[in-house]
Chains A and B, each alone.
Chain A
Amino acid sequence: MSEFLQQLLNGISMGAIYALIALGYTMVYGVLRFINFAHSDVFMVGSFAAFHVAPRLGSGAVAGGMAILCVAMAASALLGMAIEKLAYKPLRGRSTLTVLITAIGVSLLLQNVGQKVFGAEPKAFPAIFPSRTFHLGTVVVNSTQLVTIATTLLLLAALHVVVHHTRVGIAMRAVSFNATAASLVGINNDRIISFTFALGSALAGAGGVLYALNYPSIDPLMGTLPGLKAFVAAVLGGIGNLAGAALGGLVIGLVETFVSGTRLSTYRDAIAFGILIAILLFRPAGLLGRDRVEKV
């Protein structure tokens, strides 16, 4: 029982990070109908931004940790907007395949520039929040996990408010439903797309910091695997669906963690991709997605 609770906690904390990254994939898909494969590298840049500002903003205290998190999110948001403006915007109206291949190119570019600028060897990520361990019976609760879960919940709540109760958030949903109709009510689609990239990238940046807190060794290629799993989470939840991305992230995190605790632990990375194949075969619209005919 206590092992189950322990794994449950680990799984939720891992799932929270996947959820944060998955939201960016799903939001961009919502407005532009393509998978932004450079998203996983924005996640990586988020953790490096935190790594580099940490000595200056004072690690180890809650306020300092929050400040570092905010800087990482802002840096990621700016990077996301820059990628959209420079790489994807000139391709507006081209086929999805063109944009998709460009996204893979941007991803490779960021990974290689990252190795040049940050160095290819792994860096030790500092404990930017106060670290403590609690014992609840036989369950060990790490404060890092609590920070991860609390931060994620806070960001999800903030995202909900933005998407449902602000003008720009509702406009984002409008563009994602029908871009033509959105332009006919006066919405500048380009601006909303830019905003969407900023929002999704900020969440990925937060994910990058939280991931580095849990696995405190960062390198420029670190984004690939968590990025791919978060992409699976977005598909699992129903691509384009925000609640689905959060749910999908949680499911992937839990499944992966529970598999790690069994004799199948060497297959933990394969599990996520097994889920992807299964979902594409049996329920392509995802858990919360609705079948929608692609319009032409």
Chain B
Amino acid sequence: MLEVQDISVGYGAIAALHGVSLRVGAGEIVTLIGGNGAGKTTTLRAVSGLVKPRSGRILFDGRDITGWPAHRLVAAGLAHVPEGRMVFANLTVLENLRMGAYLRRDRAEVNRSLGHVYRVFPRLEERQAQPAGTLSGGEQQMLAIGRALMSKPRFLMLDEPSLGIAPLLVKSIFERIVEINRDDGITILLVEQNANLALRVSGRGYVLETGRITLADTAAALQDNPQVRGAYLGG
């Protein structure tokens, strides 16, 4: 479904990615693990069109999408829940969700998606009239994921969904992520500091170090890999 071919990305004179390649097949959950500044977020930003790669190609469903603006990729079925959630704090929860369906014209279909999001995250329905800025971190994460689902994506990228969230909620959010993949058939690319948790729900994973992919394997193999255990899984 997604194929990243040898992309390099730089911010000014600083290079963030040096020839990263990875692929995600339809229906998979794939995790990208790596330390701070390894280039995980930059990889996702390149795929969703927020930064333009200096070289390399990105294919989505076999189509070359390199250099497409972000809003056009949403129409193609790609959704990105960015690091730090970026909910519209000045809009209500419901307005945030409706903005998620910005490109969809069929009202009945949009309302069906809204009902679906409320079933996945009942907390959002209770808070629908509240400004999103008044939600807790965990609720904002639910909203960010819900908003992404409202675009009816086929491919979803999640950047650090556990960051700054109470441990109990983290578990629940990861259960929802697995459901979204299994029940809705949405392919997922996950970036996560909590590598233990991420590998447990994923089929495969990539290890990113200073802008390069250093390991690619099944999640089970990565969990057993002594190097990975030492560096990312706490021994």
Contact = CB atoms under 8 A, between A and B. Distances in A.
A180 B71 contact: no
Given A174-B88, A177-B89, A184 B102 contact: no
A186 B91 contact: no
Interface in A258-285: none
Contacts of B91: 170, 173-174, 177
B75 A183 contact: no
B82 A184 contact: yes
Contact of B99 (A171, A176, A188): A171
Contact of B74 (A171, A173, A180, A185): A185
Contacts of B71: 183, 186-189
B50 interface: yes
Interface in A227-256: none
B93 interface: no
B95 A170 contact: yes
Given A177-B89, A177-B90, A184 B74 contact: yes
A187 B82 contact: no
A181 B90 contact: no
A187 B69 CA distance: 10
Interface in A17-50: none
Contacts of A181: 82, 86-88
B154 interface: no
Nearest to A178: B86
B152 to A, nearest CB: 11
A196 to B, nearest CB: 15
Given A180-B82, A184-B48, A173 B151 contact: no
B212 to A, nearest CB: 26
A174 B99 contact: yes
A179 B90 CA distance: 13
A182 B69 CA distance: 12
Contacts of A183: 49-50, 69-71
A167 interface: yes
Given A184-B70, A186-B102, A187-B102, A173 B75 contact: no
A173 B50 contact: no
Interface string B56-91: 000000000000011100110001101000111111
A184 B80 contact: yes
B40 interface: no
Contacts of B150: 185
Given A183-B69, A184-B48, A185-B147, A167 B88 contact: no
B100 interface: yes
Contacts of B216: none
A177 B99 CA distance: 13
Interface in B166-201: none
B102 A180 contact: no
B215 interface: no
Contacts of B82: 180-181, 184
Contact of A173 (B48, B70, B90, B103): B90
Contacts of A189: 71
A39 to B, nearest CB: 23
B99 A187 contact: yes
A46 B49 CA distance: 39
Contacts of B89: 177
B23 interface: no
Nearest to B86: A181
A187 B99 CA distance: 8
A50 B99 CA distance: 37
Residue in B71, B82, B89, B90 whose Cβ sees the most chain A Cβ within 10 Å: B71
A170 B50 contact: no
Contact of A185 (B49, B69, B90, B99): B99
B18 interface: no
Nearest to B79: A184
A183 B68 CA distance: 12
Given A177-B91, A182-B88, A186-B102, 12 more contacts: A170-B98, A174-B91, A178-B88, A180-B82, A182-B99, A183-B69, A184-B74, A185-B151, A186-B71, A186-B103, A186-B151, A188-B69
Interface of A: 167, 170-171, 173-174, 176-178, 180-189
Instruction: Give the 9 A-B residue pairs with the shortest CB-CB distance, closest first.
Output: A186-B74, A181-B86, A183-B70, A186-B103, A186-B102, A188-B71, A174-B88, A186-B71, A177-B88
17 contacts: A170-B91, A170-B95, A173-B91, A174-B99, A176-B90, A177-B88, A177-B90, A180-B70, A180-B82, A182-B88, A183-B49, A183-B69, A184-B50, A184-B70, A185-B74, A185-B148, A187-B71
Interface of B: 48-50, 69-71, 74-75, 79-80, 82, 86-91, 95, 98-100, 102-103, 147-148, 150-151
